[in-house]
Amino acid sequence: MCGLNVFVSSRPAAGAPDPASQAAFAAALETMHHRGPDDTRVEFADGAAFGFKRLAIIDRTEAAQPVHYRDRWTVVFNGEIYNYRELRAELIRDHGATFATEGDSEVLAAAFHFWGPAALPRLRGMFAFAAYDHWTGTLHAARDQFGIKPLYILETVDGLFLASERKALLPFSGDSAAQLDTDALAHYFTFQFVPDPQTLHRQIRRLPPGHRLTWSAAGGLRLDRYFRPSLRPRTSSTFVEDIQHALRDSVRAHLHAEVPVGAFLSSGVDSSAIVALAREYKPDLHVFTAGFAHEGYSEIDIAQDTAQQLGVRITPTVVTEDDVIRELPRIVQLLDDPVADPSLIPLYFLAQTASRYVTVVLSGEGSDELFGGYTIYREPASLAGIERLPAGMKRGLRGLAHAIPEGVRGRSFLERGTTPIEERYYGNARIFTPEEKAELLRFTAEPHTSITSHLYAETADVDDATSMQYVDLHTWLPGDILAKADRMSMAHSLELRVPFLDQAVYAAAAGLPTELKLPSNNKHTTKHALREAMRGIVPESVRERRKLGFPTPTRLWLKGGIGDWVGGLISGSAPRHLIDVDYALRLLTDHRAGTADNSRKVWAVAMFALWWAINVDGTIRPEPALMAPPQPAGDRWATVMTGQ
């Protein structure tokens, strides 16, 4: 796992940049030191610049980056290619490829050299990479199929910049406050994250998952999609066997490393499945779990019991309120754009603990989106009766719902049942409704349907539960689940791998009929096919347990000392030209009084206020002692001039 930044000049004949520009590029790379503390290299060649921070996992003594291939390509690559040894053998056999290293980076370069973009669907792994063709002056880049690894884009009159984190592009992008994307901000308050390809900086965008780009001074920027995950229920008698086989093989592949490998373990079937299968190949597996010192908000006891049954060593982490207040500025800084998912807090401390023992962890992200793990996916079945009513009757019931006082039983059911799915479901986390955003925001922005409408159009031929799953696969998964996994693990130079998001596992899940995900004869079970595939592999008590998912006591925090801190943060740091601060504070007051549970809404406003104070106003600075120190000069730093 690593950090990269790249610049290609819009002037084809550009020579090496001046010393000030070189220093600025190197300093931008240093903002990502946490992503790769093992080696730092910067190269300038043919009007292009390549920076790389390496976390050495494979071929640790060699395979430094940037990697060069046949005097034509310079490649920087963040991620892992789990089938690189098979690809390497094929490239040698069929194309006479030669290699100077034993790592996957050079294999990626050779694959792109011989196969071009056709290599992308053949890559089993997680990746964001840039490959510069010195012969044609063309930059190629791509991001993995599901968006496990990030890649940011900035195009200016000077050329094209790429980086693993947005902060590495900010020095080249102009004033952050002036460039604030209000549409992206409005989407944040709907989804609790900024959906791809937007960021809060109008000029900087993310390359969407499953996309590649090409750029040249003459041809400009072009994006193409090479992979689109699709969920199309079909009939098969081997679903359970296919899932079990694919997941076992994926876990085996994800364990390959030259450094210590562990795993995260919570209370659910996803992480338990990963740990149980990993233990088959690695009996001395070390696992890690986290929780809070609040009753009902810790999975530690359950995880410890599961670890004991599986026979693996477990190290728990208990997170306190003092920990949260102390580290939250650093956490928000790491995110680049705010993510109002409080579960990233225990993930941050979990990764911190794990990094003291291992360099790689396996984790269960992606299972819920592929196998139907969220209870909200049962909503279409519960609303089926009301949705079948004539349109006129539904309009009448909707009017009745509006006449029922807020919070009275039955109002929500009538509202949801009389609202088309395209309007009522816009992701697994739905923070502010359009009506609530109209009160919160002091500007007008595009509606949230601009993000989801095309996804519903693409799933018009499947059932509503599958459409909801598809929406989350394309928004919630990359925007929240994978974003926090990448940033919170990389904060501690820890590589997090996700065996569920493997091509073969996806193929086994993509055709599951809804009944095998959400059986009608058990209204509490989700991921039925996966649970059946894990029968006899994970403890039976875990296999049947309902999902908890790192429960975080935000509701309780806001009624105590953290609530005092949040109130001061919102009143003192939220930009009043963008946010109705009085409205936000009323939400907090009502929550503390117990008249409404506004915890998610207040937390979303607070995280944006903290983001603004750190990134725009500069009134809050994360504790310097918690920041990674600059890379020292010496043999771990290399600045290389390789041409004009």
Residues forming the active site: 2
Distance CA 161, CA 215 (A): 10
DSSP H helices in 518-560: 528-533, 540-543, 554-557
Q: In 3-state terms, what secondary structure has residue 588?
A: helix
- Please spell the DSSP secondary structure of 310-379, one letter per residue: HT-EEEEEEE-HHHHHHHHHHHHHHHSS----TTHHHHHHHHHHHTTT-SEEE--TTHHHHHT--GGGGH
For 356, how many CA atoms within 13 A lie in the half-sphere containing its CB?
Answer: 8
Q: How many residues does the chain have?
A: 644
Residues 558, 603 contacting (CB under 8 angstroms): yes
Terminal CA-CA length for the chain = 30
The CA-based diameter of the chain, rounded to the nearest angstrom, is: 76
Q: How far apart are CA 131 and CA 142, in angstroms?
A: 9
Angle at 448 between CA 447 and CA 449, to 5 degrees: 90
Report how far Cα 356 is from the mean position of its chain's Cα atoms.
Answer: 23
Cα→Cα distances 63→140, 458, 520, 531, 587, Å: 21, 42, 52, 40, 53
Rounded-to-integer distance, Cα 119 and Cα 331, Å? 36
Estimate the crossing angle of helix 503-510 against helix 239-254, to 10 degrees: 160
